[in-house]
Amino acid sequence: MAILLERSFPVAAGAYTTAGEASTTIKRTLKQLGVNTEVLRHVSVACYEVELNLVIHSLGGTLTLLVDPEKVTLISKDVGPGIPDIEKAMTEGFSTANEEARTLGFGAGMGLPNMKRNATGFDIQSEMGVGTTITMTFALA
Amino acid sequence: MTIRDVLEIVDGKVLTGEKYLDTTVQTACGSDLMSDVLAFVKESAVLITGLINPHVVRTSEMLDITCIVFSRGKQPSEEILEMADEIGITIISSPLTTYTACGELYMRGLPGSKPKAVKTAEGA
């Protein structure tokens, strides 16, 4: 499938102040491309959740946006530390977020399940000491 | 109801976004937990919150929330107001507590956002 657009955004670990800037840019970019409001909201929510996860939990990573005529794809790839138990991490209410994240109103253990709920396709791969890759697709039709 | 109605009901002050007062709002959500807001809010919603930080505005932007009511007379920073202004979100400061502001709005017919347990083909 022909890629119409590809953009990558580095996301730094612990960058609470700027967390969400990549998602804001992604949302505005997709809006300009004319993605419909409903799909756009699903992408935005999942994107913001995954970006926050990179800031809160990872050692840093990259958020990549791919757009083709049929779907929007978001790939979050970090450099560790990895998730020891993915099944547990996917459970609503389970969280290992720190106090700083909680003070900002996050870290309720809703992130991963909420991403899955908003995306059409959701895949998570994680290896301890290597990193986590989350791939989400959102159908445009 | 419109944002103007919300403003009157919560006895509030507009801090930014005066030009959107005639925008219609359909639902509301009262929460200090942005994780929860992200998990169930629909569009055209009002967010009533006692939490004041830029992430409240950013969360609202992601969800197309059109109006934020800061309860208990809390004053957001200039940074927060500038962000909201740029996005086009109305910010209201209300002297009421979150509970009372929500109660007054609910009583006058503004329903809550329903949790979206499953994806539905809503609002075509």
Q: Does A108 touch chain B (CB under 8 A)?
A: yes
For the stretch B5-19, pLDDT in tens is 999 999 999 999 999
Distance CA B110, CA B124 (A): 21
For the stretch A37-84, pLDDT in tens is 999 999 999 999 999 999 999 999 999 999 999 999 999 999 999 999
Mean pLDDT calculated for residue range A89-99:
94
pLDDT of residue A12: 97
> What structural domains does chain B harbor?
3-107 (3.40.1390.20)
Give how many domains chain A has, as a whole number: 1
Which residue out of A21, A110, A112 would a mutagenesis test of the B interface target, given it has the greatest number of B Cβ atoms within 10 Å? A110
- pLDDT of B48 > 60? The answer is yes
Q: What CATH number is given to the structural domain containing A9?
A: 3.30.565.10
For the stretch B56-99, pLDDT in tens is 999 999 999 999 999 999 999 999 999 999 999 999 999 999 99
Residue of B nearest to A113 (CA): B39
| Domain of residue A125, residue span | 5-139
